[in-house]
Amino acid sequence: MQNQKMLLITHPKSHLHVQPFPRPNLEAFEAPLRTQMAEHYLSECGISTKLEREKAPKATAEDILKVHSPYLLETVRLMSNLGSGNLGEAAYASPDLLRNALASAGGAIRAAERVTEGVFQHAFSLMRPPGHHASRSTPAGLCYFNNVALAVTKVMEKKSIERVTIVDFDDHFGNGTAEIFYANPNVQYISIHEYDYENFGIGHYEEFGYGEAVGSNINIPLIDGSSDMVYKQAMDRIIVPSIKSFKPHLLAVSAGLDTHYADPVGNMNVDTSTYWEYGKALGELVKELDMVGSFSVLEGGYNPLVTGPSIHAYIMGLLQEAKPDLQDQIGREPIESLDNANIDIIDQVVEVVSRFW
Ligand SMILES: [Zn+2]
C-alpha cells in the first residue's frame, strides 16, 4: 500500500563539499548551510508529520555512466583526490566533492525509484551539489553530475515509465538537462528561467528539440525581476497545457529556489506563494493525468534563510494543502512595464509551443 506521507531524502554529510571562495564570489553561495538550515526548518515548521525521511545512498559508477562520459566521472574522482582544482566554469573541486556529488545523484535516483515503485506519490531530494548545468561531459555552474537526468534515465528503464516530463523552475536555464534530452522524444523538458534579451544566449524559446523530439523542449525565458503574477501565467498558459498534451507517466522537477526575491544569486521577484502555486498545479496534474507521482530535486536556492520556507510552501502545494502564511509574503510594488513585457514573451512562447499540443 502506498505510504500517505511524502518522502524527504537527506544525508547527514551533505555539507562536506565546500567551494574554495569567500563571499561575494558566486561560488561561495552554494554552501553547506543551504541544506542544513532547510532540514532544520522542515523539522521545526510543523510539516514533519507529513514527511518520511530516508538517507541518500551513493550512486554507482554504472548509474553515472548512464548519462555522463567516463571522462567526466574520472576527472571528478581525480580532482576530489587531489583536493582542489577547476572542473569547468564555476565548478570547483574539494576533497569531499566526489562523495557529496555521488550522494546527491543517489538521492535523486532513490527519490525517483521510490515513486515509480509506488511506495510514495511524491518525493523530494534535499541534497547538494545541484545538477542541472552539468552536461554529458562537462561540469559547470556549481553542478557536476546531472542528478535529475540520471534519475529520469534510470527509472525509464522500466517499461511502465515511457514518458517523463521535467519541469525546471530554477532561476537559471538548465542547459545540461536540455542538452541531454534534446533529441529524446520521450522526455519533455520545460524550463522557466531568467534570460538576457540584450545579449541573447542559450535557453531561447526557439530551441524546441531535435528530430523526433521536436516540440519536447520548451523554454520560457523571462526578464529579470519577474513577478509572482508572471510565473502564475506561465504555469497556467504554457506549463500545464504542455504537460497535458504530452501525457507523461512521471513528473520530475528541478526545484530551484533562487527565483526568490531575497536570493543573492538569482534576480527574479517571487516569494513562497509562487512555490506553493507551482507545487499545487503540479500535484493536481499528477492526479488528473493519473501519473505514478512526482519527484523533485533541489537545484539552486542560495539564501539559507529562505530555502526551508520555500520547500515548505512547495510541499504544501504538492500535497494540495492550504498555502502556509509565511513571513516573506509581503506586498511588493508591481512594475507594470516589466509585467507587460513578460506577458508579451509568454504570448510568443504560447505561439511557438502550442503548434505541438
Ligand atoms: Zn540557479
> What pLDDT is attached to residue 23?
87
3-state secondary structure 144-207: CCCHHHHHHHHHCCCCCCCCEEEEECCCCCCHHHHHHHCCCCCEEEEEEEECCCCCCCCCCCCC
Distance in Å, CA 266 to ligand 1 centroid? 7
What is the arithmetic mean of pLDDT over 336-344? 97
> Could you tell me the distance, in angstroms and rounded to a whole number, from the CA of residue 207 to the centre of ligand 1?
19
List, in order of start, the domains of the chain with CATH numbers: 6-356 (3.40.800.20)
* Cell numbers linked to 18: 565546500
Closest CA to 27 of 180, 167, 134, 130: 130
Q: Identify the band that residue 163 occupies on the pLDDT scale cut at 50, 70 and 90.
A: very high
Report residue 183's pLDDT band, with 50, 70 and 90 as the boundaries: very high
333 grid coordinates:
510594488
Q: What pLDDT, on a 0 to 100 scale, did the predictor assign at position 135?
A: 98
- Please check whether residue 224 is in contact with residue 253, taking contact to mean a CB–CB distance below 8 angstroms: no
Q: How far is the CA of 131 from the centre of ligand 1 (A)?
A: 10
Q: CA 255, CA 170: separation in Å to the nearest integer?
A: 6
Separation in Å, CA 274 to CA 25, 68, 219, 309: 28, 33, 18, 12
Whether the CA torsion 18, 20, 26, 29 is positive or negative: it is positive
Amino acid at 210: Y
Identity of the residue numbered 255: A
Q: Whole-angstrom Cα distance, residue 213 to residue 290?
A: 23
pLDDT score, position 19: 86
State what percent of residues in the chain have pLDDT above 70: 100
Side-chain-facing half-sphere of 161: CA atoms under 13 Å = 23
How far, in Å, is the centroid of ligand 1 from the Cα of 106?
21
Cβ atoms 266, 222 nearer than 8 A: no
Annotated catalytic sites, by residue?
A: 133
Q: 71-99 burial, b if ≥16 CB within 10 A, otherwise e? A: ebbebbbebbeeeeeebbebbbbbebbbb
How distant, in Å, are the alpha carbons of 27, 52, 109 from that of 253? 23, 19, 13
Q: Measure the CA–CA gap between 192 and 281, rounded to whole angstroms.
A: 15
Chain mean pLDDT for the chain: 97
Model confidence over 265-323: pLDDT tens digits? 999 999 999 999 999 999 999 999 999 999 999 999 999 999 999 999 999 999 999 99
Does residue 3 have a pLDDT over 90?
A: no
> What DSSP character marks residue 50?
G
Ligand 1 centroid vs 119 CA: distance in angstroms? 30
Among 23-27, 32-36, 167-171, 345-349, which stretch is predicted with the lowest mean pLDDT? 23-27
Q: Which amino acid is at 208?
A: F
Q: How confident is the model at residue 26 (pLDDT cuts 50, 70, 90)?
A: confident
For 3, which DSSP code?
Answer: B
Other C-beta atoms within 10 Å of 344: how many? 11
Could you tell me the distance, in angstroms and rounded to a whole number, from the CA of residue 257 to the centre of ligand 1?
8
Taking every pair of Cα atoms in the chain, the longest distance, rounded to a whole number of angstroms, is 53
pLDDT digits (tens, 9 = 90+) for 80-112: 999 999 999 999 999 999 999 999 999 999 999
Grid look-up 523571462 returns: 222
Give ion ligand 1 contacts, CB < 5 A: 170-172, 256, 258, 300
CA–centroid distance, 339 to ligand 1, in Å, is 21
| pLDDT recorded at residue 139 | 97
> What pLDDT does residue 12 have?
94
Residue 84: enclosing H or E segment and its boundaries?
A: none
In this structure, are residues 57 and 112 in contact, taking their beta carbons and an 8 Å threshold?
no
pLDDT value of residue 24: 86
